[in-house]
Amino acid sequence: MVHGSGEWEDQTGCISIPIYQSATFKHKGLNQSTGYDYSRLQNPTREELEKTIAKLEGGKEGLAFSTGMAAIDCVARLLKPGEHIIISDDLYGGTYRLFEDVYKVYGIESTYVDTTDLEKITMELKDNTKAIYMETPSNPMMKVSDIGKISALAKEKGLITIVDNTFLTPYFQRPMDFGADIVVHSGTKFLGGHNDTLAGLLVASREDLIEKLRFTQVSIGATLSPFDSWLILRGIKTLAIRLEKQQENAKHIALWLKNCDAVEKVYYPGFKEHEGYEISLKQTSGFGSIISFTVKEKKAIGKVLEEVEIVTFAESLGGVESLITYPYLQTHASIPEEIRNRMGVTDKLLRLSVGIENVNDIIYDLSKSLN
CA distance linking residue 113 with residue 131, whole number of Å = 13
Same fold, 44-237 and 240-370: no
286, pLDDT greater than 90: yes
Cβ atoms of residues 182 and 133 within 8 Å: no
CATH number of 240-370: 3.90.1150.10
Please tell me the predicted confidence (pLDDT) of residue 331. 79
Interval 159-190: pLDDT, tens: 999 999 999 999 999 999 999 999 999 999 99
pLDDT at position 279 over 80: yes
**pLDDT, position 33:** 87
Three-state DSSP state, 307: helix
Mean pLDDT of 42-57: 97
pLDDT beyond 90 at 11: no
> What pLDDT score was predicted for residue 336?
81
In this structure, what is the dihedral angle of CA atoms 175, 180, 186, 191, given to the nearest 10 degrees?
30
- Of the candidates 266, 269, 272, 271, the residue with the CA atom closest to the CA atom of residue 287: 269
Q: For the chain, which residues make up each domain, given as ranges?
A: 44-237, 240-370
Residue 344's pLDDT is: 86
Which pLDDT value is given to residue 10?
67
pLDDT for the residue 273: 97
For the ranges 22-31, 146-155, 170-179, 243-252, the lowest mean pLDDT is seen at 22-31
**Residue 318: which pLDDT band, with cuts at 50, 70 and 90?**
very high
Give the pLDDT band of residue 154 (cuts 50, 70, 90). very high
Give the mean pLDDT of 296-311. 96
Interval 196-207 mean pLDDT: 97
> What is d(CA 232, CA 226) in angstroms, rounded to the nearest whole number?
10
CATH annotation of 44-237: 3.40.640.10
Enumerate the active-site residues: 40, 92, 164, 189
84-88 sheet: strands from edge to edge: 61-65, 200-204, 182-186, 160-164, 129-135, 84-88, 109-113
Helix 359-370 × helix 299-307 angle, to 10°: 140
* CA distances for 187 relative to 7, 46, 97, 338, 348, angstroms: 21, 13, 20, 30, 28
Predicted local confidence at residue 341, as pLDDT: 80
What is the C-alpha separation between 92 and 72, in angstroms, rounded?
11
Asked if the model's pLDDT at residue 1 lies above 80, the reply is no
Q: Does residue 342 carry a pLDDT above 70? A: yes
Q: How much is the pLDDT for 291?
A: 98
Q: pLDDT at residue 131 above 70?
A: yes
pLDDT at 350: 97
